[in-house]
Amino acid sequence: MPSTDIPTFAASQLVLLDAELRAELSETSALASQSSPTALARAGVAILNLQISSQRTGLGGKTVVELELNPAVGGGDIPEHGIRVGDIVGVQEQVGGSAKKREKAEVKAKGAEGVVLKVTSAVVAVALDREEVEVPGGKLWLIKLANDVTYKRMTQTMTRLQNFKEAEYTPFIRVLFGLSSPSPVPQNLSDPEHGLDNVAWIDSSLNDSQKDAIRFALLSKEMALIHGPPGTGKTHTLIELILQMLKQNLRLLVCGPSNIAVDNIVERLAPHKVSIVRLGHPARLLPSVLNHSLDLLTRTSDAGALVQDVRKEMDKKQASIRKTRNGRERRTIYGELKELRKEYRERERGCVDNLVRGSKVILATLHGAGGFHLKNQEFDVVIIDEASQALEAQCWVPLLAAKKVVLAGDHLQLPPTIKSLNSKAKPPKEAKAAKDENVVKNMTLETTLFDRLLALHGPSIKRMLTTQYRMHEKIMAFSSKELYEGKLVAADGVKARLLKDLPYEVKDTEDSREPVVFWDTQGGDFPEKTEDEEVGKKAGKGMSLGESKSNELEAALVKLHVRNLVDAGVRPEDIAVVTPYNAQLAVLSQLLKEAFPGIELGSVDGFQGREKEAVIVSLVRSNPEHEVGFLGEKRRLNVAMTRPKRHLCVIGDSETAGRGSAFLKRWMAFLEETADLRYPNASDLQDLT
Ligand SMILES: Nc1ncnc2c1ncn2[C@@H]1O[C@H](COP(=O)(O)OP(=O)(O)OP(=O)(O)O)[C@@H](O)[C@H]1O
């Protein structure tokens, strides 16, 4: 077993994270520094001409301001924008006049930063970050800012790991870096000797591979990987695992890389009536899980009542500030508010501490687990869902102090998106660069903890779930054979489901009775086109991010197929079209959005984790050179082909794809052999473009 040198590993991560952050910042700041506020607003990342309509103390003692359109510009609805709940934004004074005057004023007007709490057509509410902020009056504008909090947490974590002395390495850390072998897990998991022969399962529907994975995770000492191919009930299994671990009286920290991944678990855990606390900014949580959020529990628990008294007083003061114009009076009130805030924080901290300490399951995003709430808290097990979508450094945020980890994921679907891979971010300064290059040798952020542990310790540290509950068995066949050792089995309820069997009326047609259709565009009549990809798409004139590909005739063919499905009775909301290329997405959007309201269009990467009754995959690439670019990535193709439940339609040029990569070649051959093959005529499609 080759071990990993921990300081070198941490140093490499730090270099790679630095490059990643620079790539991310350069994207946002290039746009911000090169564009005027009007251009930013057009690009959807800023809102102009706002004013404060109300101000109050919100959750966590934060000042919440509501912004509305300034009556001077006519008031009413805020023009369309791309700012969403959870975004980090700056609220700044909007200065008119010449560019020079603006520049001067911008240096002066620092404004405030916060998180968007609510967006409606008429108002945007922002929870400000710092507590003692004096929000600028007058005309304001709001701009979306880059979010570097996650990077800070990861960098702090890696720096700590880098500085650990060898004596500080826990047995857990030693195993995760291969300095020690994992404790052996018995082969026969249901042997009565381990007491797991007769588990009282809470969910009686669990299948054997799920039970096996749970037993394995319970018996493993340091780590267990639960490998969940598409639709195999990975989260389902984790819920049972959590409940079983609670029966053993273990204290758990459950994390995921995104808020939605964590909320998904909270929602499914809640009906089991276990006391759970969800950490995280309330603005970023699903409404259905707010009841479990720490902020809300702080307000509703008994201890919370004490906190509320102070809060009411703070609200009164806030309101009085807005009434007075007298500078001295304002200063006095600000002074009093400051005192009150101190008291509020102290009482709140006590209350929060009690809640966190008293809870057996805490849920947070990976980076959220690095907040002050969990300082000095100990957990028996850290469980990470969607672990193959998380950066390794992110996983270490909750893991530095852990004793055992259970990772659930699928390393054969897409890893987290890495911007620095293709970015034009400046390289580190020269002297440093040579050293850095040495350090990061053979390392990329794309390698997740899940991947690394598998490479380090081999398949004996994982258990795979093998029954899938999504796809018709023909849809699943290629993916199972190529990637999952042919072990996937379609559950009885899904293996023969077709569109014509949908619970509403669908005619029996050549499409609705077919689980897999392949429109092969070979022959060169469906050529791809190269387009510039842009930042700030709404503006239509953002900055180039590089090239993307589109294929108009292929898009027309998509339209033809969608129309056939809809004519048969399939609802547009049960159909999705996915494609790896953003430029193709734009073409499809123009062609389909209005014609079929409710249809969903998405990039393959964005559709990971999702499913639809019918999915059309537009492969786009068609060129005499047989170039396939990133379409050749088998994990991307795997995601694309495993989204549908009842109907998969692939549209592409088998000649181009077939020479692109070995995996693509085998897929094309498989489709030609097993799918319902069709050869379109390009000239019939002209009127559909
Ligand atoms: N043992 C089971 N019996 C019946 N249905 C199940 C079982 N396990 C999972 N399912 C169903 O399979 C579907 C997928 O489950 P879940 O959402 O847990 O999967 P996942 O593996 O987390 O999803 P993804 O494939 O998107 O990663 C759900 O509808 C779930 O109810």
- Closest atom of ligand 1 to 237 CA is 18
Q: Are 524 and 654 in contact (CB under 8 A)?
A: no
Q: Are 142 and 111 in contact (CB under 8 A)?
A: no
- Closest atom of ligand 1 to 609 CA is 26
- What pTM did the predictor assign? 0.84
Position 507 scores a pLDDT of 98
Position 427 scores a pLDDT of 46
CA-based radius of gyration for the chain: 27
169 three-state secondary structure: coil
List the residue whose alpha carbon is closest to atom 5 of ligand 1.
469
The dihedrals phi and psi of 112, each to the nearest 5 degrees, come to: -125, 160
How many Å apart are CA 390 and CA 398, to the nearest integer? 13
List the residue whose alpha carbon is closest to atom 15 of ligand 1.
233
- Closest atom of ligand 1 to 264 CA is 17
SS (HEC) of 577-640: EEECCHHHHHHHHHHHCCCCCCCEEEEHHHHCCCCEEEEEEECCCCCCCCCCHHHHCHHHHHHH
As to burial, measured by CB atoms within 10 angstroms (0-12 exposed, 13-18 middle, 19+ buried), residue 130 is: exposed
- Closest atom of ligand 1 to 469 CA is 12
Cα first-last separation, the chain? 57
Below-50 pLDDT ranges, the chain: 104-109, 423-431, 535-545
List the residue whose alpha carbon is closest to atom 28 of ligand 1.
233
Cα–ligand 1 centroid distance for 236 (angstroms)? 6
Cα–ligand 1 centroid distance for 232 (angstroms)? 5
Position 325 scores a pLDDT of 76
Q: Which of 238, 239, 469, 612 to mutate to test the pocket of ligand 1 (most atoms within 8 A of CB)?
A: 469
How many Å apart are CA 298 and CA 61, to the nearest integer? 11
List the residue whose alpha carbon is closest to atom 23 of ligand 1.
231
Position 389 scores a pLDDT of 95
How many Å apart are CA 671 and CA 475, to the nearest integer? 10
As to burial, measured by CB atoms within 10 angstroms (0-12 exposed, 13-18 middle, 19+ buried), residue 688 is: middle
E strand map for 76-122:
88-93, 112-119
Residues in the chain: 689
As to burial, measured by CB atoms within 10 angstroms (0-12 exposed, 13-18 middle, 19+ buried), residue 273 is: exposed
Cα–ligand 1 centroid distance for 375 (angstroms)? 34
Position 107 scores a pLDDT of 40
CA–CA distances in Å: residue 7 to residues 151, 153, 246, 432, 596: 19, 18, 35, 17, 55
Q: Which of 202, 203, 236 to mutate to test the pocket of ligand 1 (most atoms within 8 A of CB)?
A: 236
Q: Which long-range contacts (CB under 8 A, 24 or more apart) does 271-277 make?
A: 272/202, 272/239, 272/243, 274/242, 274/243, 274/246, 274/360, 274/361, 275/358, 275/359, 275/360, 275/361, 276/359, 276/361, 276/362, 276/363, 277/355, 277/356, 277/359, 277/361, 277/362, 277/363
Cα–ligand 1 centroid distance for 231 (angstroms)? 5
Cα–ligand 1 centroid distance for 18 (angstroms)? 37
Torsion of CA 281, 284, 289, 295, to 10 degrees: 20
Q: Are 487 and 480 in contact (CB under 8 A)?
A: yes
Q: Which of 202, 212, 214, 232 to mutate to test the pocket of ligand 1 (most atoms within 8 A of CB)?
A: 232
Cα–ligand 1 centroid distance for 448 (angstroms)? 23
Position 248 scores a pLDDT of 94
Cα–ligand 1 centroid distance for 467 (angstroms)? 9
Q: Are 254 and 265 in contact (CB under 8 A)?
A: yes
CA–CA distances in Å: residue 45 to residues 65, 82, 118, 134, 391: 19, 6, 16, 24, 26
Q: Are 552 and 682 in contact (CB under 8 A)?
A: no
How many Å apart are CA 197 and CA 211, to the nearest integer? 11
How many Å apart are CA 228 and CA 389, to the nearest integer? 13
Ligand 1 first shell, C-beta below 6 A: 205-207, 210, 228, 230-236, 469, 609
Cα–ligand 1 centroid distance for 237 (angstroms)? 8
